[in-house]
Structure formats: structure tokens, C-alpha cells
């Protein structure tokens, strides 16, 4: 299971059962009894909401472990993970930080935008929603899954257009100057990830990866019962919300062009949304070189590995960015703070000079008139300074 901490969103204490043993007991209890019962209920309820969200996403969605059983075949590059990626994927699955030296870190960039941004110790998955990673490692993960899905579609006889734009919409508008009606072509800026065309069907696919451990889901629906209730205990809660958002965004425009909108939502732990599952089922019936069962098993592995490689990239890039942030903050602080040696040396010199000047002034040996403006006069009229 996951190392626990005191926060209700995070693991608790070091007295928990061994990591793999506890997670194995929970998982076997769920699968063997069709739900949470007996000892599994006790263990599950002893976890914080963060671990409960992970266990709900992993255990109630069998496709989440496909990458663990994928043989690293040379003939199937899509089945292979590098050693470093494998380690980071396992740590992510267990709810651990990518690297132990991040325990005391806080993402300053996100904290500037949201004062409630938790520390990485409380939110180990922060990199997956970090503002610094949106256009970098998160996009690379998204693109890898998109291209993997495109290859799967081609193997089923689909014609695939990557990042298709909607055709221009033609509208009739009255000219303000002449009053005549004119045909105007309006180009939509939105676009999906894939357009799958087979015979008379056209499906617009938009890929998205969401995480069920975001604070939105950990806090949403929580009651006085604490960790034992809330949205985080609903299977596919994050994927379902992402699907609904995509449908709201694209369905109307797709209907105008005769397309079908299909959101392809994955949770960061591997669970696929219902729309994604249905798409793969439809594709499997048209596989050119595999039976439907073999195609689905192959698709599970390819997509699962692509997701975990992408997750590892997010974790690695995000960790590097946090270390760079800390380094740059330290160098900016050092530039404005004089060293202890130079500060002490300057202070001693100033004190010696001041003491010598005071002695000379008392003896009448120091003429301060030369230090003042030549036209300066004292308050005693007629007396030069």
C-alpha cells in the first residue's frame, strides 16, 4: 500500500503494512468478493482519501495493470518501458513521490496562482496538473497516446486524419453597407485529435488524461463521515467528468458536419472512460490481422505503456523544474545578500574611521568647512560655517 501521512488527503504514518502486501490484500478482497468487505473494508477505511482514490481507480478498472504484464518484445516497441520509466511508474502507482528528495518541496509557480496549493508530500501527483508542465511533458504524454490510438485505428482499416479542423461553416449575412445578403465562410479554431473515417462513419476523437487524485475530487462530496465518503470513491469519476466536458465542447459542431464526437478519456492510473472502451470495442470488430480478443489485449498494452511512459516523463520533467526553481531562488537571494566576511570587514573599517574623525574633531584638527557647500551659511547670521 501507500506510505501514510497525517493529512486526510495523504497517507498516514510509518506503521502501515508493507506496501505491496497491503495493496495486494485490498485488491484481492475487492476482486474476490465483488466489492469491499471484511478485512478489505477495514483496511480501505483506514486510508486517507488520497489512497482511497488511487485504490478505487486501480482496483475497479482491470485495464490499469496491463503495462505490468506487457512482455518487452523487440517486435513490439509499444510494449517496452525503460528501467527508469518503470521505476517511476511503480512509484506513481503506489502514490509515492517520484524522488524522495522532493519531500520538502512546494511548487512555487502554482502556489503564486493558488494559495491553497499543497506541498508535494501531500500531493505527490502535483506534476500531472502543474502549470509548468501543461505545454511540455503533459503535451508529450497526450501526443504519444494520440499517435498510439491512431496506429490502432489504422490497423483496423480506418482512415485517420491527425488534428483535423472543422470545415468552415457557411452563413448568410446582410452587408451593412449595401444591405445585400452575402455568403460568409467562418473557420472554426477548435480542432480534435483524430478524425476516424470508415465507410460512411466519421468520428472525431479527442484524447484527454485526467487524474483522480486532484484536490477537486478529494474534496468534492466529502461529508462529516470524512474519508469514507465523497466523489473520490466513485469509479471513473474523473474520466466521466472529462468525457462530459468534451461532449459539451464539440458535440454541437460535430453534429453540424455529420460527425460523431467520441471523447477518449484516460485516468492517470490507467482506467479508461466508458466512451473510450466502446470505441475500442467497435474497432476490434474490424481488426485486419487479429481476432477481436487479441486486438483488445494488444490495445490495452500499447495504450497502458504509452500512458505510463508519459507519466514517467511528467514526473521526471516536473522534478527537474522544481530543482531548477529552488536553485534560481537561492542564487537570487545570494546576489542581494553580502557575504559575512565582506560585511564584517566593511563594518570594522567604518567604525575605525568614525572613531578617528571624532578624536580629530575634538582636538580641532579636523576642518569640516571644506566638506560643506561653499555658499552654505550657518544660522548665526554673518558667521561662515
| Better-scored residue on pLDDT, 364 or 330 | 330
Q: Is the pLDDT score of 372 beyond 60?
A: no
Q: What does DSSP say about strands 194-198 and 201-210: parallel, antiparallel, or unpaired?
A: antiparallel
Nearest by Cα to 137 from 297, 307, 346, 342:
307
CA distance 227 to 78: 38
Residues 303-312, mean pLDDT to the nearest whole number: 96
Average pLDDT, the chain: 78
CA distance 212 to 222: 15
DSSP reduced 3-state for 179: coil
Return the residue matching grid coordinates 470513491: 233
Instruction: Report the pLDDT value the prediction gives residue 281, as an integer from 0 to 100.
Output: 96
Residues 322-347, mean pLDDT to the nearest whole number: 67
> pLDDT grade, residue 154 (50/70/90)?
very high
Q: Is the pLDDT score of 331 beyond 70?
A: yes
Which pTM value belongs to this model?
0.73
Instruction: Report the pLDDT value the prediction gives residue 44, as an integer from 0 to 100.
Output: 81
Residues 359-376, mean pLDDT to the nearest whole number: 49
> pLDDT grade, residue 288 (50/70/90)?
very high
Q: How many CA atoms lie within 13 A of 93 on its CB side?
A: 23
Amino acid at each position: 500500500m501507500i506510505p501514510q501521512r497525517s493529512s486526510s488527503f495523504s497517507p498516514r504514518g510509518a506503521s502501515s503494512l508493507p506496501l505491496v502486501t497491503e495493496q495486494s490484500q485490498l485488491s484481492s478482497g475487492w476482486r474476490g468478493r465483488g466489492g469491499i468487505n471484511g478485512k478489505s473494508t477495514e483496511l480501505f477505511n483506514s486510508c486517507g482519501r488520497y489512497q482511497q482514490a488511487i485504490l478505487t481507480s486501480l482496483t475497479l478498472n482491470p485495464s490499469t495493470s496491463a503495462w505490468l504484464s506487457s512482455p518487452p518484445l523487440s517486435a513490439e516497441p509499444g510494449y517496452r518501458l525503460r528501467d527508469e520509466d518503470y521505476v517511476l511508474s511503480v512509484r506513481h502507482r503506489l502514490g509515492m513521490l517520484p524522488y524522495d528528495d522532493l519531500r520538502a518541496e512546494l511548487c512555487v509557480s502554482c502556489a503564486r496562482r493558488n494559495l491553497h496549493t499543497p506541498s508535494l508530500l501531500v500531493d505527490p501527483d502535483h506534476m500531472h496538473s502543474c502549470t509548468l508542465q501543461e505545454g511540455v511533458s503533459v503535451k508529450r504524454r497526450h501526443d504519444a497516446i494520440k499517435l498510439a490510438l491512431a496506429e490502432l485505428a489504422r490497423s483496423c482499416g480506418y482512415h485517420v486524419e491527425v488534428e483535423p479542423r472543422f470545415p468552415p461553416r457557411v452563413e448568410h449575412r446582410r452587408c451593412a453597407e449595401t444591405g445585400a445578403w452575402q455568403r460568409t465562410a467562418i473557420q472554426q479554431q477548435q480542432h480534435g485529435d483524430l478524425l476516424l473515417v470508415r465507410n460512411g462513419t466519421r468520428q472525431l476523437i479527442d484524447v484527454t488524461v485526467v487524474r483522480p487524485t486532484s484536490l477537486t475530487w478529494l474534496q468534492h462530496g466529502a461529508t462529516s463521515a470524512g474519508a469514507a465518503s465523497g466523489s473520490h470513491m466513485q469509479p471513473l469519476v474523473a474520466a466521466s467528468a472529462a468525457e462530459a466536458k468534451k461532449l459539451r465542447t464539440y458535440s454541437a459542431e460535430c453534429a453540424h458536419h455529420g460527425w460523431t464526437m467520441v471523447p477518449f478519456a484516460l485516468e492517470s492510473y490507467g482506467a479508461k472512460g466508458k466512451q473510450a472502451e466502446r470505441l475500442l470495442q467497435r474497432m476490434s470488430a474490424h481488426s485486419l490481422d487479429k481476432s477481436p480478443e487479441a486486438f483488445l489485449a494488444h490495445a490495452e498494452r500499447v495504450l497502458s505503456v504509452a500512458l505510463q511512459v508519459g507519466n514517467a516523463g511528467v514526473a521526471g520533467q516536473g522534478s527537474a523544474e522544481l530543482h531548477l526553481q529552488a536553485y534560481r531562488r537561492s542564487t537570487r537571494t545570494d546576489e542581494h545578500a553580502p557575504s559575512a566576511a565582506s560585511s564584517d570587514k566593511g563594518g570594522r573599517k567604518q567604525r575605525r574611521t568614525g572613531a578617528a574623525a571624532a578624536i580629530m574633531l575634538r582636538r580641532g584638527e579636523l576642518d569640516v568647512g571644506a566638506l560643506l557647500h561653499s555658499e552654505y551659511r550657518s544660522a548665526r547670521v554673518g558667521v561662515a560655517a
